[in-house]
Amino acid sequence: MESLRQEVAQWRGQYDTGRKRDIAFTNSATEVPPLYTALDLEDSAGTAFETPGAWPFTRGIHPTGYRGKLWTMRQFAGFGTARETNQRYKFLLSQGQTGLSVAFDFPTLMGYDSDHVRSEGEVGKCGVAISSLADMEALFEGIPLDKVSTSMTINGPAIILLCFYIAAAEKQGVDSSKLQGTVQNDILKEYMAQHAWCFPIEPALRLIVDGFEWCASNTPNWNTISISGYHIREAGSTAAQELAFTLADGFTYVERGIARGLDVDEFAPRLSFFWDIHNDFFEEIAKLRAARRIWARHLKERYGAKNPRSWMMRFHSQTAGVTLTAQQPMNNVVRVAYQGLAAVLGGTQSLHTNSMDETLSLPTEGAVQVALRSQQILAYETGVPNVMDPLGGSYYVEALTDQLEREAEGLFEQIEGIGGVVKGLEEGWFQKRIAESAARQQWEIEQRRKIVVGVNEFVTDEPELTIPILRIGQEAEREQREQLAALRASRDNEACARNLEALRAAARGTENVVPRILDCARSYCTLFEIRAALEDVFGAYREPVFF
Ligand SMILES: CC(C)(COP(=O)(O)OP(=O)(O)OC[C@H]1O[C@@H](n2cnc3c(N)ncnc32)[C@H](O)[C@@H]1OP(=O)(O)O)[C@@H](O)C(=O)NCCC(=O)NCCSC(=O)CCC(=O)O
């Protein structure tokens, strides 16, 4: 080591001159020295004594990695009506996609029916419109729900959409115990970053724990939550903040489950995660490795989980939408390919690669095909999946993994210091930290301290729109309105009223509300009717204002 120390010192004197061009930073503004050696791992063994599939899982959760099973290729998709999106799903499955991922339109994300006055102009625009069980049935028509695994990105009204899904499966003759998939259901990051909430924080957390409890005995293969860093990062956080805030959300859910009296090993194996894969290649890989190690340690040592499945962080990744540019949109194909590679080198279980046009509109069929092909090229042509955690042992990646872990632990201490996640949200602590980081990054781009190819460097005067764009018209809204009117006229309205009243009563007490919501779903109560019944009891969330 002494001779290495001398050699590195000599090298630094000669080449690391500290001139402006020689100073580099990670995407999160941490300075990166130009050379890493064994000296950087002097205080840590890195992962020299670790194998994949073994505690603390830095190198992956499965002993066989992608040789055992490739990651799930899961493109997030939805637009217009359920009927139209059903066609897109069939197309994606026919092209070799291995899982489904539902994007809902904005009214659905907020718990409004397509014919609600607040939905006007938004129906089917940024995702598919789902207002009742009837729409969910149409969405999966001809797609056997016992065979496919489905992710649903929905948070405020998540439990209602999950009940529509379970009821749609029942209509196909599939029992809830056979369902495989994930509901995002991560309300804490909504208050933190994404803003699609329905109810105040405490009742929203109660609904999530009701879900943990009910799903543990009724949908054993269903992931009850996808604890998401994605939206925190897209809102402008650094990698370390994404890591720490998301894990802190995860710990909060675990604590709430335990506080309900649930055994941690009853629900923790079905908690899953979702990370954003940004541009800084090695920082992103290190983030994923650190995330697994931190989760494992806290679950075992802090929360007393005994089942190894509770220790294993399983996650989905999506390439960072915020890095896509409207200028020279074909460049996005290249950005996405590098980010997808980072996700796979970091050991993701499931991946969405963005389409080149996603900064302009929902993807066209052609653009999503290229995005999916980029995953297939990675899986079948590059040789990358052949070796588990191939960057394990890299001085840089190991040191960066340790560093991100330390930064996250520092942030956990700060979060504890302010009274925990819920208190921090109420006081705007997280929101302010994210806004500060976002402002710094924007400033760096405007000052050209950070180069964005085609935006502040290598600019051309070609017209911006050089690729086809998917445009969603007003037909979806018209069709939805007609179908909802027909539904309200043909269903058993008395049964609906009875079920909604029973739901209100359950919400007022401490009974688990999931069976009540399921009854409402089965009798074709609409999304907004169920949301409104809960709001009668819980009230609505009003965001605190901060300056
Ligand atoms: C756990 C994950 C992450 C992945 O689940 P998957 O079913 O796809 O994969 P999986 O769990 O790895 O694999 C399925 C089964 O295979 C097993 N398996 C996997 N690899 C194995 C191996 N090497 N050896 C042996 N078995 C293996 C697993 O244990 C599991 O079985 P067992 O279950 O029996 O163990 C889930 O939560 C998920 O699919 N999430 C997707 C979330 C998503 O798409 N979100 C979209 C957000 S989009 C959004 O928010 C908007 C963003 C925007 O604004 O654009």
The domain in which residue 505 lies consists of 474-538
Number of neighbouring beta carbons within 10 Å of residue 94:
8
Is residue 56 one of the residues assigned to a domain? no
Domain end marker among 447, 462, 489: 447
Residues 342, 482, single domain; the answer is no
Residues 525, 423, single domain; the answer is no
Is residue 130 one of the residues assigned to a domain? yes
Residues 346, 492, single domain; the answer is no
Residues 346, 479, single domain; the answer is no
Cβ(368)–Cβ(92) below 8 Å: yes
Is residue 526 one of the residues assigned to a domain? yes
CA 377 to ligand 1 center in whole angstroms:
20
Is residue 43 one of the residues assigned to a domain? no
- Please tell me the least confidently modeled range out of 23-27, 79-83, 337-341, 355-359: 23-27
The confidence score (pLDDT) of residue 21 equals 58
Residues 136, 229, single domain; the answer is yes
* Model confidence band, residue 45 (pLDDT cutoffs 50, 70, 90): confident
Residues 343, 294, single domain; the answer is yes
Ligand 1: residue of 73, 154, 182, 358 to mutate (most ligand atoms within 8 A of CB) is 182
Instruction: Give the DSSP per-residue string, 252-289.
Output: HHHHHHHHTT--HHHHGGGEEEEEEE-S-HHHHHHHHH
Contacts of 194 (CB under 8 A, 6+ apart): 155, 231, 235
* Model confidence band, residue 243 (pLDDT cutoffs 50, 70, 90): very high
- Nearest alpha carbon, ligand 1 atom 20: 69
Cβ(158)–Cβ(198) below 8 Å: no
Contacts of 140 (CB under 8 A, 6+ apart): 86, 89, 150, 168, 172
Between CA 151 and CA 219 the distance in angstroms is 14
| Ligand 1 pocket, residue 58 CB under 6 Å | no
The confidence score (pLDDT) of residue 1 equals 86
The CATH number assigned to the domain holding 130 equals 3.20.20.240
Ligand 1 atom having least distance to the Cα of 62 = 23
Between CA 382 and CA 398 the distance in angstroms is 23
Domain count, the chain: 2
Residues 406, 283, single domain; the answer is yes
CB-count exposure of residue 20 (10 Å: 0-12, 13-18, 19+): exposed
| Ligand 1 pocket, residue 63 CB under 6 Å | no
Is residue 55 one of the residues assigned to a domain? no
| Chain segment 55-105, per-residue pLDDT in tens | 999 999 999 999 999 999 998 999 999 999 999 999 989 988 888 999 999
| Ligand 1 pocket, residue 34 CB under 6 Å | no
The confidence score (pLDDT) of residue 27 equals 78
Cβ(216)–Cβ(190) below 8 Å: no
Q: Is the ipTM of this complex over 0.90?
A: yes
| Token pair of 298 as six digits | 């806290």
The confidence score (pLDDT) of residue 465 equals 65
The confidence score (pLDDT) of residue 29 equals 75
The confidence score (pLDDT) of residue 547 equals 65
Between CA 337 and CA 340 the distance in angstroms is 5
| Chain segment 134-171, per-residue pLDDT in tens | 999 999 999 999 999 999 999 999 999 999 999 999 99
The CA-based angle 254-255-258, given to 5 degrees, is 85
Is residue 17 one of the residues assigned to a domain? no
Residues 233, 272, single domain; the answer is yes
Is residue 193 one of the residues assigned to a domain? yes
Between CA 322 and CA 324 the distance in angstroms is 6
CA 138 to ligand 1 center in whole angstroms:
24
Cβ(275)–Cβ(229) below 8 Å: yes
Residues 215, 354, single domain; the answer is yes
Domain end marker among 429, 447, 465: 447
Task: Output phi, psi for 104, to 5 deg.
Answer: -95, 155
Between CA 199 and CA 543 the distance in angstroms is 11
Residues 324, 254, single domain; the answer is yes
Residues 376, 483, single domain; the answer is no
Ligand 1 atom having least distance to the Cα of 315 = 3
Is residue 546 one of the residues assigned to a domain? no
Ligand 1 atom having least distance to the Cα of 352 = 44
| Chain segment 495-546, per-residue pLDDT in tens | 999 999 999 999 999 999 999 999 999 999 999 999 999 999 999 998 887 7
Between CA 502 and CA 216 the distance in angstroms is 23
- Please tell me the least confidently modeled range out of 8-22, 189-203, 240-254, 265-279: 8-22
Residues 93, 129, single domain; the answer is yes
Instruction: Give the DSSP per-residue string, 380-434.
Output: HTS-GGGSSSTTTT-HHHHHHHHHHHHHHHHHHHHHHHTT-HHHHHHTTHHHHHH
CA 116 to ligand 1 center in whole angstroms:
34
| Ligand 1 pocket, residue 316 CB under 6 Å | yes
Give the helix/strand (H/E) hosting 496: helix 493-508
Task: Output phi, psi for 331, to 5 deg.
Answer: -60, -25
Asked whether the predicted pLDDT for residue 215 surpasses 60, the reply is yes
| Token pair of 148 as six digits | 């496919």
